[in-house]
Amino acid sequence: MWNLAQLTDLIHGWLYETFPPAWALAFEMIIVGIAVIGLFAGLGLVLVLMERKVSAFMQIRLGPNRVGPKGLMQSLADTLKLLVKEGMTPDGVDRFLFNLAPFVAMIAAMLLMAPIAFAKDFQIWDLNIGVLYVTAISSLNVIAILMAGWSSNNKYSLLGAMRSGAQIVSYELSAGLSILTVVVLTGSLQISDIVTAQSNGWWIFKGHIPVIIAFVIYMIAVTAETNRAPFDMAEAESELTGGFHTEYSGMKFALFFLAEYINVFIVCAIGATLFLGGWMPLHIGEWTAFNGIMDWIPSSVWFFGKTFFLIFLMMWFRWTFPRLRIDQLLNLEWRYLLPIGMVNILLVTVIAILKWHF
Amino acid sequence: MFLTRYFSEIAEAVGSLLKGMRMTGYYFTHHKEIITQQYPDNRATLVLPERFRGEVVMTHTENNEHRCTGCTACELACPNGTIKVVTKFEVNAEGKKKKAVDKFVYLLELCTMCNLCIEACPTDAIRMAQTFEHSVYDRSQLTRILNKPDSKLQEGVE
């Protein structure tokens, strides 16, 4: 019943029967690549529309409502517009880096897709250091931003990129520490192990106080890491026009824009996997009837439901809170989140050793 | 001492952030609160606020009579020269010459809808209308003569 693993096994088996192993592997890679690009395009369209609708409702507006039924085709129309626009390369920029930066941003976002478990037994690459891989690759993003800012030959771009660098480097620490709490409780860095460990209850329930603190810190830190309001110092429309992508237009701008939303999706997917049990359905103790109904809902629905709930939470932050100043931003990280995170990881270690979690 | 302040600061911050999120969450779940007017679509049912000021018009009765005596109080009150009152001398029934309005010229393109002319008018001859769709293809169409042709001063207005 609704098992994506059967589909992948079917394709895998057929490919290895029909072609020699090297070719079959190559074809599998191509299929996965196309699937990931397709997912990117779909997510970009859905998330941009969702952001605009959510922001509109939170500000007592209507949001896009002209293109298609209820404005559902708005992001398609926007994509079309961006596609036909000229991708300008201004005079005086470092042409190579300028044109490379959006692709680096995209590739960094794409690489992060590999260890995410989208459904039961449905994962691109279940490597044994999945969580470490995610934290390592997500810091590549700052290189793309610095590249764009430096090569643009524009003071606003450079300022935006520098702020973004300071921000991402400092908030990575708290994000890493809060991820570590779950790793301490699970005892494994492998994503599939972490999900399996939550079969009798999600970590946010099983790990109680320290995991809830870690979850809150994680959400704050990743909001900062993806450069979204209230931490959008890197863009800061009112101060830096467009921040690091001031000089970009057309499809190159769209790639940055898309990469931002993909990063939002990925950090929320990781958050859902670590704290909310990934594709694991909600199980409450011994209520077998209730658990049965929950099992009946497909695992991919659980995964995307949790992820989109977290994305909605981040959008809620964005459209509620005013932007922080750079000093307030660094204060929040170094004076509040990091010390609390450090104490928290000590607490969670004690709890894991004494088996005080459920 | 330091720690209590530290934690109370955190608690206060979290509390105020949650308060803000409750507000936006309320708006998100209550779509009836939406204040956007879908203007060109709802032109028929559009309700403007009572004190909305669109343009200056002169009130005329059904006998084509207005209340403007041509005193130019509005012209003097206008801060940016929007109104030009051209007066003439009329001979009335008793053979007396009397000042009356010939053309009440109103330059809509200069008007800021400040309402000072209406307040200055001693006879309530002019008022603010609520029409606001003023776009035209030529600037000359914005120069308007407010008194209708052959209109007379209403009886008893001095």
Confidence label for A2 from pLDDT (cuts 50, 70 and 90) = low
CB contact under 8 A, B28 and A317: no
Give the Cα separation of A99 and A151 in Å (integer).
9
What does the pLDDT read at residue B137? 92
Res. A1: pLDDT tops 60 = no
* Mean pLDDT value of segment A279-293: 76
* Secondary structure of residue B14 in the 3-state scheme: helix
Give the Cα separation of B59 and B34 in Å (integer).
37
CB contact under 8 A, B34 and A321: no
Segments making up each domain of chain A, as ranges: 91-354
Q: Find out whether B116 and B31 touch, Cβ atoms under 8 Å.
A: no
Give the Cα separation of A163 and A186 in Å (integer).
35
CB contact under 8 A, B34 and A61: yes
Indicate the burial class of A28 (C-beta count within 10 angstroms; 0-12, 13-18, 19 or more): middle
Q: Which of A230, A224, A180 is nearest to A344 (CA)?
A: A180
Q: Is the predicted ipTM greater than 0.85, yes or no?
A: no
Residues A297-334: b if buried by 16+ CB within 10 A, e if exposed:
ebbbebbbebbbebbeebbbbbbbbebbeeeebeebbe
Query: What is the DSSP-derived secondary structure letter of residue A234?
Result: T
Q: Find out whether A299 and B7 touch, Cβ atoms under 8 Å.
A: no
Q: Which of A88, A66, A62 is nearest to A77 (CA)?
A: A66
Residue-level pLDDT, tens digit, chain B, 158 residues: 888 888 888 889 889 989 988 888 888 888 777 777 888 888 888 888 888 888 888 888 888 888 888 888 888 999 988 899 888 887 777 777 778 888 889 998 888 988 898 999 888 888 888 888 888 898 888 888 888 888 888 777 77
- Report chain A residues whose CB lies below 8 A from the CB of B27: 57-60
Give the Cα separation of B2 and A297 in Å (integer).
50
- Report chain B residues whose CB lies below 8 A from the CB of A58: 24-25, 27-28
CB contact under 8 A, A59 and B10: no
| Residue A73 C-alpha from the chain's centroid | 24
Q: Looking at beta carbons, which pairs linking A144-148 to residues 24 or more positions away fall under 8 Å?
A: A144/A101, A144/A102, A144/A104, A144/A105, A144/A108, A144/A259, A145/A101, A145/A105, A145/A227, A145/A234, A145/A244, A147/A97, A147/A100, A147/A101, A147/A104, A148/A97, A148/A98, A148/A101, A148/A102, A148/A105, A148/A244, A148/A245, A148/A248, A148/A256
Q: Which of B155, B151, B147, B158 is nearest to B86 (CA)?
A: B147
Q: Dump strand ranges (E) for chain A.
A: 117-119, 122-123
Task: Output the CA angle A136-A305-A199, nearest 5 degrees.
Answer: 75
Report yes or no: B16 at the A interface, CB cutoff 8 Å. Answer: no
- Half-sphere exposure (CA, 13 Å, Cβ side) for A155? 1
Give the Cα separation of A162 and A142 in Å (integer).
10
Res. A257: pLDDT tops 70 = yes
CB contact under 8 A, A60 and B17: no
Res. A236: pLDDT tops 70 = no
What does the pLDDT read at residue B63? 85
Distance to chain A for B14, nearest Cα, Å:
11
CB contact under 8 A, A317 and B21: yes
Distance to chain B for A30, nearest Cα, Å:
42
Q: Find out whether A152 and A91 touch, Cβ atoms under 8 Å.
A: no
Give the residue from chain B lying closest to A55, CA to CA: B28
pTM comes to 0.81
Which tokens hold the place of A295? 């099992």
**Do β-strands B55-58 and A122-123 pair in parallel, antiparallel, or remain unpaired?**
unpaired
Bridge partner residues of B86 (DSSP): B103
| Residue A302 C-alpha from the chain's centroid | 17
Element (H or E) spanning A208, and its range? Answer: helix A208-225
Phi-psi region of B63 (alpha: psi -120 to 50; beta: other; left: phi over 0): alpha
Please give the span between the terminal C-alpha atoms of chain B, in angstroms, as a whole number: 80
Res. A53: pLDDT tops 80 = yes
* Mean pLDDT value of segment A179-197: 85
Indicate the burial class of A80 (C-beta count within 10 angstroms; 0-12, 13-18, 19 or more): exposed
Q: Which of A143, A98, A132 is nearest to A249 (CA)?
A: A98
* Mean pLDDT value of segment A151-172: 84
* Secondary structure of residue A235 in the 3-state scheme: coil
Query: What is the DSSP-derived secondary structure letter of residue B60?
Result: B
How many interface pairs between A and B have CB atoms less than 8 angstroms apart? 36
All residues at 6 or more sequence positions from B6 whose CB lies less than 8 Å from its CB, including other chains = none
Nearest to B24 among A61, A319, A336 (CB): A319
Bridge partner residues of A95 (DSSP): none
Report yes or no: B27 at the A interface, CB cutoff 8 Å. Answer: yes
Q: Output phi, psi for A118, to 5 deg.
A: -80, -30
CB contact under 8 A, B24 and A60: no
CB contact under 8 A, A316 and B24: yes
* Mean pLDDT value of segment A252-266: 86
pLDDT in tens, A64-108: 888 878 878 888 888 888 888 887 888 888 888 888 888 888 888
CB atoms within 10 A of CB B5: 9
Report yes or no: A60 at the B interface, CB cutoff 8 Å. Answer: yes
* Secondary structure of residue A180 in the 3-state scheme: helix
